[in-house]
Amino acid sequence: MSIKKISKKDIGKLLEEWSCERTVFLPSKDSGVTEMAKWDGKDTSFLEWYRNTVVPAKSSFLPPMEEMFTFYKNNDGYHLELSPDQQKRIVFGIRPCDARAIAVIDKVFTDSYEDPYYVSKRKNTVLVGLSCTSPYDSCFCTSLAVKPAESPDVDLMFTDIGDEFLVEEITDKGKELMTAASMVKKTTSADEAKLKTIRATVSGKVSRKVDTKDITKKLQASFGDKAYWENVAAKCISCGVCTLLCPTCYCFDICDELSKKQGTRYRRWDSCGFSIYTRMPVENPREDKWRRVRQKVCHKYEFYPMNSEVIACTGCGRCIRLCPVNWDITQVLASVPAQQVAKK
């Protein structure tokens, strides 16, 4: 893997060069909530304040709400007009935890059925990672094998080493982007030594730990323990924040907006935490709150790993930071009983 470097003062110019070919998205708080937003062509001040976005970068591929197609009826029958997003883009500044989350949901949207809306955006995007140097108290990524200052899940990986960024070319897509960049410099052995130190230091800053050994088996064993799950769910107010803003949650709902003989079909984020989630014609399969909370935990730590051998949580800590009642998944994981209980 090749490593290059670029002065911090040249970042604006680099982004400008990239914007000739692609739309650049980077961390912004212009909307009032930190998220990846279209670059205005000037402002790079996020480099001073950015720790991580509130809205995870999954929104670049699975937006909170997106138009799927419009339809209308005339004398010839029904007609559909698809609106695929073919925009070429760069998402700059994604943290390794959120890049891992994209890898988790890539599988969902490509495995047995290729979702054209997700896949077209994903294929046209270059992911540029930015090493995390200031994790939150709520982060526990290192317990999930995510390294805060390196990532195999991006195309390019930037690490702040002071007045410069080191740039690792992870994929051919990333390499191509750097080959065309004009202000790139060669690295020295001292730069690479700095990179090693930064990686070790920042990993050490992630102090929250979760023991994931046998967690899938423990959850299987405690699945039917109603008293345990009722206790776990007691303070949850079912606001859905921990799922909507979780980078590995991907549930969506479909809705139509109709006017006379035409309409638009949208899809939008949904949450298994809501009492009306997957409401069937007769009933909701998870009417009790404890069953919905159990679903949220078990989907990430039991069902997804059983199918894909990967835990669908990256330890980004959002569900801890953003929960209005301080529900804490790390406390839940530490408290899962190991005894065998009949399934309900």
Residue 135 interacting with ligand SF4 (CB under 6 A): no
Region of 34 on the Ramachandran plot (φ > 0 left; ψ -120 to 50 alpha; else beta): beta
Which C-beta is closer to ligand SF4: that of 218 or that of 318?
318
Nearest distance from C-beta of residue 46 to ligand SF4, angstroms: 21
Q: Which of 130, 219, 329, 336 binds ligand SF4 (CB under 6 A)?
A: 329
Is 248 a binding residue for ligand SF4 by CB under 6 A? The answer is: yes
Which of 23, 70, 238, 264 is the binder for ligand SF4 (CB under 6 A)? 238
Please pick, from the candidates 158, 247, 302, 305, the single residue that binds ligand SF4 as defined by CB under 6 A. Answer: 247
Candidate list 102, 127, 241, 332; residue touching ligand SF4; CB under 6 A: 241
x/- binding map, residues 269-298, to ligand SF4, per CB under 6 A?
Answer: ----x-------------------------
What is the smallest separation between the CB atom of 41 and ligand SF4, expressed in angstroms? 32
| C-beta of 125 vs 314, nearer to ligand SF4 | 314
Q: Decide: 253 and 235 in contact? Cβ < 8 Å.
A: no
Four-CA torsion 222, 223, 224, 230, nearest 10 degrees: 90
Among 105, 122, 315, 336, binds ligand SF4 (CB under 6 A): 315
Residue with tokens 């007045």: 163
> What is the smallest separation between the CB atom of 132 and ligand SF4, expressed in angstroms?
13
Range in contact with ligand SF4 (rule: CB under 6 A) among 45-53, 127-135, 214-222, 324-332:
324-332
Contact region with ligand SF4 (CB under 6 A), list: 85-93, 223-231, 237-245, 259-267: 237-245
User: With contacts defined by CB under 6 A, how many residues of the chain interact with ligand SF4?
Assistant: 24
3-state SS string over the chain?
A: CCEEEEEHHHHHHHHHHHHHHCEEEEEECCCCCCEEEECCCCCCCHHHHCCCCCCCHHHHCCCCEEEEEEEEEECCEEEEEECCCCCCEEEEEECHHHHHHHHHHHHHHHCCCCCHHHHHHHHCEEEEEECCCCCCCCCCHHHHCCCCCCCCCCCEEEEECCCEEEEEECCHHHHHHHHCCCCCEECCHHHHHHHHHHHHHHHHHCCCCCCCCCHHHHHHHHCCCHHHHHHHHCCCCCCCHHHHCCCCCCCEEEEEEEECCEEEEEEEECCCCCCCCCCCCCCCCCCCHHHHHHHHHHHHHHHHHHHHCCCCCCCCCHHHHCCCCCCCHHHHHHHCCCCCCCCC
Instruction: Candidates 316, 332, 333, 336: give the one binding ligand SF4 (CB under 6 A).
Output: 316
Of 232, 236, 332, 336, the one binding ligand SF4 by CB under 6 A: 236
Residues 28-57 that bind ligand SF4 (CB under 6 A): none
Using the contact rule CB under 6 A, the part of the chain among 59-67, 198-206, 217-225, 236-244 near ligand SF4 is: 236-244
* Sole binder of ligand SF4 in the list 10, 128, 317, 336 (CB under 6 A): 317
Q: Does 100 sit near ligand SF4 (CB under 6 A)?
A: no
The rounded distance, in Å, linking the Cα atoms of 15 and 12 is 5
Stretch that binds ligand SF4, among 18-26, 106-114, 252-260, 316-324 (CB under 6 A): 316-324
Question: If binding is defined by CB under 6 A, does position 148 make contact with ligand SF4?
Answer: no
Please give the Cα distance from 212 to 195 (Å, whole number). 28
Residues within the interface to ligand SF4 (CB under 6 A): 236-242, 246-248, 273, 300, 313-319, 323-325, 327, 329
